[in-house]
């Protein structure tokens, strides 16, 4: 396995980061994840744009141009021979003696790695995912894709202990998003509903593409917050992310959504997303 660390491609076993890295000490960093399908990066430029934006919000200079990132990603995919899976990119403020305020004159730490994962043929997508709801314990800038993921670790551990795939985080009775995904419901009149963007949630890249594909297919899309009760009573539900693409949600806190099976509109949206991936140039 080859990873990328601070300008070099190295075997994973030889890669190391100093203990004073601010990513480790303070979670002072940003990450991004793009899907790989048929060896191609999917929605990648939007992920790189979000990376640039997240870095800017915490005043870390983006170490690479979009073209340079793409070149590095492609090289890493090639060296690891990834056909289906994920590319992770992580940038921290760098290495300095422990002190909260930004250190001067440090270079950001850059780490990239790939994971192999079945993306297109997913038994989870066939069966649909169960989710639980948990309180959203995160900070007030969830629009930044920060590596500070402790609340998500706890949420997804609760999900794992409940034997389900994802935790939907709830604030003031309304779903913000999943631990690592965007939440959607489809009402009984066929309207696709997902929360409007704000600092309360991450602007999902897959969310945006799915909304576009839905609108192109003449489906109705509404951006608004929805409650757990509304989600449980919905006709269909699903989640989106670079790691799961479009994933049906079939139970919420043990309560079946619709007939408790992946619904027709969710299946169609997943097919539309995969068709978009097929049409993506190499
Ligand atoms: N929300 C959160 C909290 C996430 O971690 C993710 C996964 N990156 C998403 C939503 C989905 O975003 P995307 O579609 O860009 O992967």
- pLDDT (mean) for 266-277: 98
- Ligand 1 nearest-atom number relative to CA 50: 15
Q: Are residues 151 and 14 in the same domain?
A: no
Q: Which residue, by CA, sits nearest to atom 10 of ligand 1?
A: 181
Q: Are residues 226 and 178 in the same domain?
A: yes
Q: What is the pLDDT of residue 112?
A: 98
Q: What percentage of residues in the chain have a pLDDT greater than 90?
A: 98
Indicate the residue among 62, 91, 116 that finishes a domain: 116
Q: Are residues 104 and 137 in the same domain?
A: no
CATH code of the domain covering residue 160:
3.20.10.10
Q: Are residues 102 and 131 in the same domain?
A: no
Q: What is the pLDDT of residue 204?
A: 98
Q: Answer yes or no: is the C-beta of 62 below 6 A from any ligand 1 atom.
A: no
Q: Are residues 255 and 130 in the same domain?
A: yes
- pLDDT (mean) for 24-35: 98
CATH code of the domain covering residue 17:
3.30.470.10
Indicate the residue among 116, 136, 168 that finishes a domain: 116
Indicate the residue among 91, 116, 141 that finishes a domain: 116
Ligand 1 centroid distance, CA of 182 (Å): 6
Q: What is the pLDDT of residue 153?
A: 98
Q: What is the pLDDT of residue 89?
A: 98
Domain span holding position 159: 123-279
Q: Answer yes or no: is the C-beta of 138 below 6 A from any ligand 1 atom.
A: no
Q: Are residues 157 and 239 in the same domain?
A: yes
Q: Answer yes or no: is the C-beta of 210 below 6 A from any ligand 1 atom.
A: no
- The tens digit of pLDDT for each residue in 33-92 reads 999 999 999 999 999 999 999 999 999 999 999 999 999 999 999 999 999 999 999 999
Q: Tell me the C-alpha distance between 124 and 244, whole Å.
A: 9
Whether the predicted pLDDT of 126 surpasses 90: yes
Residues in the chain, how many? Answer: 282
E-strand stretches of the chain: 2-5, 8-11, 29-37, 40-42, 85-92, 109-116, 129-135, 166-171, 174-178, 182-186, 192-194, 221-223, 236-241, 245-252, 255-256
Q: Are residues 268 and 153 in the same domain?
A: yes
Q: Are residues 68 and 171 in the same domain?
A: no
Q: Are residues 127 and 240 in the same domain?
A: yes
Q: Tell me the C-alpha distance between 274 and 252, whole Å.
A: 25
Q: Tell me the C-alpha distance between 17 and 19, whole Å.
A: 6
- Ligand 1 nearest-atom number relative to CA 177: 1
- pLDDT (mean) for 258-275: 97
Total structural domains within the chain: 2
Q: Tell me the C-alpha distance between 56 and 48, whole Å.
A: 12
Q: What is the pLDDT of residue 88?
A: 98
- The tens digit of pLDDT for each residue in 135-194 reads 999 999 999 999 999 999 999 999 999 999 999 999 999 999 999 999 999 999 999 999
Q: Are residues 200 and 80 in the same domain?
A: no
- pLDDT (mean) for 272-276: 98
- pLDDT (mean) for 200-220: 98
Q: What is the pLDDT of residue 77?
A: 98
Token duo for residue 71: 């070149």
Q: Which residue, by CA, sits nearest to atom 9 of ligand 1?
A: 181
Q: Are residues 134 and 87 in the same domain?
A: no
Mean pLDDT of the chain: 98
pTM (whole model) above 0.95? yes
Whether the predicted pLDDT of 122 surpasses 90: no
Q: Are residues 97 and 128 in the same domain?
A: no
């Amino acid at each position: 396995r080859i990873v990328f660390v601070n300008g070099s491609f190295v075997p994973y076993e030889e890669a190391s980061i100093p203990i004073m890295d601010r990513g480790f000490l303070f979670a002072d960093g940003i990450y991004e994840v793009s899907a790989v399908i048929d060896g191609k990066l999917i929605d990648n430029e939007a992920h790189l744009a979000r990376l640039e934006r997240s870095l800017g919000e915490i005043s870390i200079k983006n170490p690479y141009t979009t073209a340079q990132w793409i070149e590095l990603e492609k090289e890493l995919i090639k060296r690891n021979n990834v056909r289906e899976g994920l590319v992770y990119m992580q940038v921290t403020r760098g290495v300095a003696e422990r002190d909260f305020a930004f250190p001067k004159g440090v270079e950001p730490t850059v780490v990239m790695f790939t994971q192999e994962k079945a993306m297109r043929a997913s038994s989870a997508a066939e069966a649909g995912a169960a989710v639980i709801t948990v309180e959203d314990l995160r900070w007030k800038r969830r629009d930044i894709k920060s590596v500070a993921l402790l609340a998500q670790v706890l949420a997804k551990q609760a999900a794992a202990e409940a034997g389900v795939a994802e935790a939907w985080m709830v604030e003031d009775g309304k779903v913000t998003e999943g631990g690592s995904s965007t939440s959607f419901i489809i009402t009984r009149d066929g309207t696709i509903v997902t929360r409007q963007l704000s600092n309360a949630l991450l602007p999902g890249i897959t969310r945006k593409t799915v909304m576009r594909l839905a609108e192109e297919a003449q489906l109705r899309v509404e951006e608004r917050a929805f409650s757990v009760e509304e989600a449980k009573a919905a006709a269909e539900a699903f989640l989106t992310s670079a790691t799961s693409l479009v994933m049906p949600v079939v139970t919420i806190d043990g309560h079946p959504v619709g007939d408790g099976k992946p619904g027709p509109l969710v299946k169609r949206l997943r097919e539309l997303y995969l068709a978009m991936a097929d049409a993506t140039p190499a």
